[in-house]
Amino acid sequence: MKHTPWRALCAAAVFAIAGLASAAEPMAKLVPGQGHIGFVSKQMGVPVEGQFKTFDAQIAFDPHKPEGGTVALQIDLASATLGVPQSDAELPKAPWFDTARFPKAGFQSRTIKALGDGRFEVAGKLTIKGITQELVVPVTLTQSYGQTVATGSFTIQRLAFKIGEGEWTDTSMVSDEVQVRFKLVLTGLRPL
Partner 1 sequence: MPVPPVAAHEPADAPRYGAVAMALHWLLALMIVTSFSVGLYMTSLPFSPLQLKLVNWHKWAGITILGLSALRLLWRLSHPPPPLPARIVAAMPGWQLVAHRGTHFLLYLLFFAVPLFGWAYSSALGFPIVWLGVAPLPDFVPVDKEFAEAVLKPLHKGSAFTLAAVVLLHAAAALKHHFVDRDGLLDRMWIK
Residues that bind partner 1 (CB under 8 A): 43-49, 83-84, 86-87, 89-90, 167-168, 170, 173-174
The residues, any chain, with a CB within 8 Å of residue 42's CB and separated by 6 or more, are 48, 174, 175, 177
| Shortest reach from residue 56's CB to partner 1, in Å | 27
| Shortest reach from residue 34's CB to partner 1, in Å | 22
Q: Kindly tell me which of 68 and 95 has the beta carbon lying closer to partner 1.
A: 95
DSSP helix/strand/coil, 68: helix
N-to-C CA span, the chain: 48
Bridge-based pairing of strands 80-81 and 119-128 is unpaired
Q: Kindly tell me which of 53 and 119 has the beta carbon lying closer to partner 1.
A: 53
**SS3 for 111-136, per residue?**
EEEEEECCEEEEEEEEEECCEEEEEE
| Shortest reach from residue 182's CB to partner 1, in Å | 20
Q: Kindly tell me which of 143 and 169 has the beta carbon lying closer to partner 1.
A: 169
Strand partners, 121: 113, 138
| Shortest reach from residue 101's CB to partner 1, in Å | 21
Q: Kindly tell me which of 23 and 89 has the beta carbon lying closer to partner 1.
A: 89
Q: Kindly tell me which of 117 and 167 has the beta carbon lying closer to partner 1.
A: 167
**Dihedral sign computed on CA atoms, order 153, 159, 163, 168:** positive
| Shortest reach from residue 57's CB to partner 1, in Å | 27
